[in-house]
A = this chain, B = another copy of it.
């Protein structure tokens, strides 16, 4: 159910029944030559739709701007500060709560947003103890990813425009991928990148962290389906918990 296509006469009752709002949140950010700037928005949006189908949740309109510090000097990136993003999510959360939602899922397609999402969630939790706020970024996929990937990850925490993320796109938004332009670019990310501010232009000129050429729809399917399953379960758990509290 796309929230913004509902009308105000019928939506109240539907909210009370569903209780769950999913906000797809991504970013506009450089993703190499083969993926569009809006890759994280497309992924977040399509994941949200699939998860909503399985949970009876509403999908809110995608928030297409995120925190893009690391890649902000790359062509096409648009960066929002953490402070702004936190304020925005808190404002939205207050409205959602007042509208009757009791589970607010921030379905995140862009790792750079993670700090703001967690902080916003904590602020909302302090305000409304009976409001469950989830921040989800491909949860519980470590094992399946390791099985699927043919190349080693460039970095322990993040991946970008690589074998993995390109596979996601091939599975979820194939029409926006141009595999003929896919490249292999495995940067040597220095240890210092984890402990001092390090814009990515210091170690990559392509913004691709790995071998995008190895991406396949099937790899994407395996990981994404696992992620969806985990998300559905986490949301169901949150909803049950809220209902028990009543």
Report A's interface with B, CB cutoff 8 A: 3-12, 15, 28, 30-38, 41, 60-65, 68-69, 72-84, 87-88, 91-92, 94-96, 98-99, 115, 118-119, 121-122, 125, 132-136, 139-140, 176, 178, 181, 191-192, 194-197, 207, 230, 234, 237-238
Contact B28 A7 (CB under 8 A): no
Contact A197 B125 (CB under 8 A): yes
Question: What are 27 A-B contacts defined by CB distance under 8 Å?
Answer: A4-B38, A6-B37, A7-B31, A7-B34, A7-B35, A7-B76, A7-B178, A8-B37, A8-B76, A9-B32, A9-B33, A11-B75, A60-B64, A61-B64, A63-B65, A68-B95, A69-B122, A73-B98, A77-B95, A78-B96, A78-B99, A80-B88, A83-B87, A134-B196, A139-B195, A195-B234, A196-B234
By a CB distance below 8 angstroms, the chain B residues around A238 are 192, 196
**Which of A8, A30, A119, A238 has the largest number of chain B CB atoms within 10 A?**
A8
By a CB distance below 8 angstroms, the chain B residues around A64 are 4, 60-63
Contact A99 B87 (CB under 8 A): no
Q: How far is the CB of A128 from chain B (nearest CB, A)?
A: 11
Q: How far is the CB of A76 from chain B (nearest CB, A)?
A: 4
Contact B79 A95 (CB under 8 A): yes
By a CB distance below 8 angstroms, the chain B residues around A36 are 4-7
- Take A28-B60, A234-B192 as given contacts and tell me if A74 and B8 are in contact as well, using a CB distance cutoff of 8 Å: yes
Which single residue of chain B is at the shortest CB-CB distance from A40?
B4
By a CB distance below 8 angstroms, the chain B residues around A82 are 119
